[in-house]
Structure 1
Amino acid sequence: MIGMNTERLVDLWRRLLADPRKSWVLFEHGTCVVLTAPDGDLAEQATEILKEFGPVRAGSPAGDFGVIDVKDADGGWVITGHHQDVLTYVAPDEPSGRDNFAVGMRGRTKRHRDGTELHIVHVEDRRTPAGPA
């Protein structure tokens, strides 16, 4: 990823995903899987979601994307796909163009790589530990 290291990406996703109850898992190319119902091993749960909803399949909903401009968090964009909890960050210096199509295609390509390589770089476990009964 051009100009973005894992530490900066983790910081960025922490700011973007401000809900303190949301656990999430970050993959190598900037795709974040938000776990709305975290259960058991978060890495395993996120990997299963991304394995199914990350790879691009032309002519299917897996090829679709949306683009959200995130001016408040270092600039750049969040790319959505056919699963509402799978999001990919594209930094301002990455796309070859600034229009939504070029940015979205860059994010979709990154999501596809994450969905096929499945290399986790960070797990954010925000589940509260169970207290004494």
Structure 2
Amino acid sequence: MSKENLIKNVKLAINPKYQDWVLFKNGTYIIFDNADTIKSINHEAIKQMKEFGPVFAGGPAGDFNTIHLTQTEGWIVSGHGYGMYTYVSPSELENTDDLQVGMFGRSKRDLDGKNPEVIYINSRKK
């Protein structure tokens, strides 16, 4: 999936009332409720991704929930870390049952956690 398509799908996946969020290369994003109190949303997102993104066997990051999207195709996988979600496109998987989608989303979050690369920042402050 291209970077532009990923950004477009994530924008459609997020409730419009949330305007401050950061998207990482593999589709994980973090929504910030209090972005106006954060000096650098980019640095805070990377800090949180390094802390909550990596998945370790038996750890809380292994738990997940799969959310079916209505405004775009695909799913959001939620888990450990407040406001942290991972977008999964139907084009990424052949088997799209909730368990497979969740496991795949969790692996994408793990990649973002181990090598966080911000590709897009959405902010009310322009």
**TM-score, normalised relative to structure 2:** 0.90
Does the CA-based 8 Å contact 2:18-2:31 persist in structure 1? no
Deviations 1:62-98 (A, max 9, x none): 111100011321x111000112311000000212411
Instruction: Determine the C-alpha separation between the residues in 2 that align with 1:80 and 1:71.
Output: 16
Instruction: Report the equivalent of 1:89.
Output: 87
Does the CA-based 8 Å contact 1:96-1:102 persist in structure 2? no
User: What SS does structure 2 have at the residue aligned with 1:47?
Assistant: helix
Instruction: Report the equivalent of 2:43.
Output: 44
- How much does 1:37 deviate? 1.4
Instruction: Report the equivalent of 1:16.
Output: 13
Structure 1's consecutive aligned runs of 4 or more residues displaced over 6 angstroms after TM superposition are none
Instruction: Report the equivalent of 2:105.
Output: 107
Instruction: Report the equivalent of 1:72.
Output: 71
Percent identical among aligned pairs is 35
**TM-score, normalised relative to structure 1:** 0.86
Instruction: Mark the runs of 5 or more structure 1 residues left unpaired by the alignment.
Output: none
Instruction: Determine the C-alpha separation between the residues in 1 that align with 2:102 and 2:33.
Output: 24
Instruction: Mark the runs of 5 or more structure 2 residues left unpaired by the alignment.
Output: none
The structure that has the greater radius of gyration is 1
Does the CA-based 8 Å contact 2:69-2:75 persist in structure 1? yes
Q: Higher helix proportion, which one?
A: 2
Deviations 1:41-77 (A, max 9, x none): 111011111111100011111111100011321x111
Instruction: Determine the C-alpha separation between the residues in 2 that align with 1:21 and 1:88.
Output: 16
What letter is aligned with 1:79?
A: V
Instruction: Determine the C-alpha separation between the residues in 2 that align with 1:101 and 1:21.
Output: 27
Does the CA-based 8 Å contact 1:21-1:126 persist in structure 2? no
Instruction: Determine the C-alpha separation between the residues in 1 that align with 2:62 and 2:15.
Output: 28
Number of corresponding residues: 124
